[in-house]
Amino acid sequence: MFYTSIKIFIMKKINLIKSPFIFSMFLLLNLNMLSCKQVNEDPGALSEKQETEKIEVSGVTNEKSGYDLEVFAEGLYVPWSIVFTSPDRMLVNERNGKIRIIENGVLKTEPLKEFKDVSSGGEEGLMGLALDPDYINNKLIYVSYAFDNGDELAVKVVRYKDNGDNLSDEKIILNNIPAERYHAGCRLRFGPDGKLYITTGDAGERGLVQEKKNLYGKLLRVNSDGTIPEDNPFPGNPVWSIGHRNSQGIDWYPGTEILYSTEHGPSGFDGPGGGDEVNVIVKGGNYGWPEVSHEQSIEGMISPALVFTPAVAPASGMFYSSDSIPEFKNNFFFGCLRGNAIYRVIPDENDPSKVKSFEKLEGIEFGRIRDVAQGPDGAIYFSTSNKDGRGSVRKGDDKIYRIVKKK
């Protein structure tokens, strides 16, 4: 693995100075890796915002990878979410509205369900997919998708019973989450507390993100039936944290309640390009958008653990808990829609809420990467997103690959 130019910034706001590695990073890659123009930052815009100290260090590299890459499935359309219902059965959300079944390695022709009312004209569509913590007994699954509610685009979270070849018992868990063609979220994940967490985007209304009373740019937490937990930070409110531009990846460090998330930074029209983030989420936390981005900080707002500029477009997030690839255990992985990349984030073993280092995995040269998921076999599965209108479509796209221990 090779980085042409790397600069790393250590945030003053986070107490990470004692580690020998990096903690908050501003990654400057060669501009030819970008698919769209970045906008230069206006130096006057930061006059009242605290800057970060800049320390340049060398990047992390791998001389030789200890894993192999295999094609698992092909012929998909923008596979957004991957879950395993058993060792032999995978469900995949395609952004244009189909839940596909891959059983014993074979992609079935008929979808488990096709959502006729899905809106997928931009970045939005059929997005999140999660299994109930008691799925083995109740067969309940949760999906999120964008639709036109008659007045505007919105996202709904819906629960179904999985009958093997169809879904039944529809129940709306949360409705009319703000959405737009861009910045619609919407990742679903059950936490170790048994609650359902839902990421939402700012839907282009960044001026509303700092308000706790709405659902723009938030991380939400609800019970499995859609009711609001009594221990949420804001009484009667599903909001768990605020100040997010468009988060699409969340997961917990194994065996703990330490929550990591990934978030897309500004795109130029709403701030200096880049500034993609890995955050460590705390109850009731404010992560700054749109008041701060990149390495800016304001008292009372939580700085990111990692910052990437130019953009890598982090689209997922997963902690690896298997022993199958020992060197990856308890590491955080996310796919990137830019730069043919999957990044591996290595937390501090003594305090997993702090980041020790990161690296870009070798050999991931398949175009835009969307979801990353751990399989029951201990392999890491990841999906491409080359048919989303921004990628170069290759033969057989879109595909799902898997990373396995080198034989």
Is 369 exposed, middle or buried (CB count within 10 Å of its CB: 0-12, 13-18, 19+)? buried
Question: Which of these, 17, 21, 20, 38, lies nearest to 29 by C-alpha position?
Answer: 38
pLDDT of residue 106: 98
pLDDT of residue 5: 31
β-strand pairing of 54-55 with 8-9: antiparallel
Give the separation between CA 207 and CA 222, rounded to whole angstroms: 25
Give the separation between CA 107 and CA 90, rounded to whole angstroms: 9
State mean pLDDT over 256-264. Answer: 98
pLDDT of residue 65: 76
- E strands of 225-349, at which residues? 239-241, 247-252, 259-263, 276-281, 306-308, 318-319, 332-336, 341-348
pLDDT of residue 118: 98
Whether the CB-CB separation of 145 and 152 falls below 8 Å is answered with: no
> Which tokens go with 16?
């990470």
Q: For residue 31, which phi and psi values (nearest 5 degrees)?
A: -65, -20
Instruction: Provide the CATH number for the domain formed by 8-405 in this structure.
Output: 2.120.10.30
Q: Highest-confidence range of 108-117, 265-274, 291-300, by mean pLDDT?
A: 108-117
Residue 136: its H or E element: helix 135-138
How many residues would you count in the chain? Answer: 407
State mean pLDDT over 226-236. Answer: 99
pLDDT of residue 249: 98
Residue 147: its H or E element: strand 140-148
Residue 138: its H or E element: helix 135-138
- pLDDT, tens digit (0-9, with 9 covering 90-100), for 193-212: 999 999 999 999 999 999 99
| For residue 55, pLDDT beyond 50 | no
- pLDDT, tens digit (0-9, with 9 covering 90-100), for 90-100: 999 999 999 99
Helices and strands: H and E segment counts in the chain: 1, 28
| For residue 10, pLDDT beyond 70 | no
Task: Give 407's pLDDT tier (boundaries 50, 70, 90).
Answer: confident
Q: What is the pTM of this model?
A: 0.86
pLDDT of residue 295: 87
CA distances from 247 to 264, 298, 316, 339 (A): 6, 20, 8, 19
Among 18-32, 35-49, 71-85, where is mean pLDDT lowest?
A: 35-49
Whether the CB-CB separation of 370 and 300 falls below 8 Å is answered with: no
- E strands of 242-327, at which residues? 247-252, 259-263, 276-281, 306-308, 318-319
> Which tokens go with 227?
């009711």
The residue type found at 62 is: N
CA distances from 233 to 4, 228, 236, 251, 315 (A): 43, 11, 9, 19, 26
State mean pLDDT over 378-388. Answer: 98
Give the separation between CA 309 and CA 7, rounded to whole angstroms: 10
Task: Tell me the average pLDDT of the chain.
Answer: 87
Is 322 exposed, middle or buried (CB count within 10 Å of its CB: 0-12, 13-18, 19+)? middle
Q: What residues contact residue 148 under an 8 Å CB cut-off, 6+ apart? A: 117, 119, 154
CA angle 358, 363, 365 (to 5 degrees): 105
pLDDT of residue 97: 99
pLDDT of residue 130: 99
- pLDDT, tens digit (0-9, with 9 covering 90-100), for 350-370: 999 999 999 999 999 999 999
> Which tokens go with 143?
């999906």
Task: Give 64's pLDDT tier (boundaries 50, 70, 90).
Answer: low
Q: Which residue has the tokens 């690839």?
A: 325
| For residue 7, pLDDT beyond 90 | no
Q: For residue 93, which phi and psi values (nearest 5 degrees)?
A: -85, 125
* DSSP-assigned beta bridge partners for residue 381: 373, 402
The residue type found at 6 is: I
Give the separation between CA 390 and CA 388, rounded to whole angstroms: 6
| Cα dihedral 42/43/49/54 (nearest 10) | 120
Q: What residues contact residue 398 under an 8 Å CB cut-off, 6+ apart? A: 74, 75, 76, 77, 78, 79, 383, 384, 385, 386, 387
CA distances from 222 to 87, 312, 385 (A): 28, 30, 29
Q: Which residue has the tokens 């599903």?
A: 238
State mean pLDDT over 158-170. Answer: 99
- pLDDT, tens digit (0-9, with 9 covering 90-100), for 296-337: 999 999 999 999 999 999 999 999 999 999 999 999 999 999
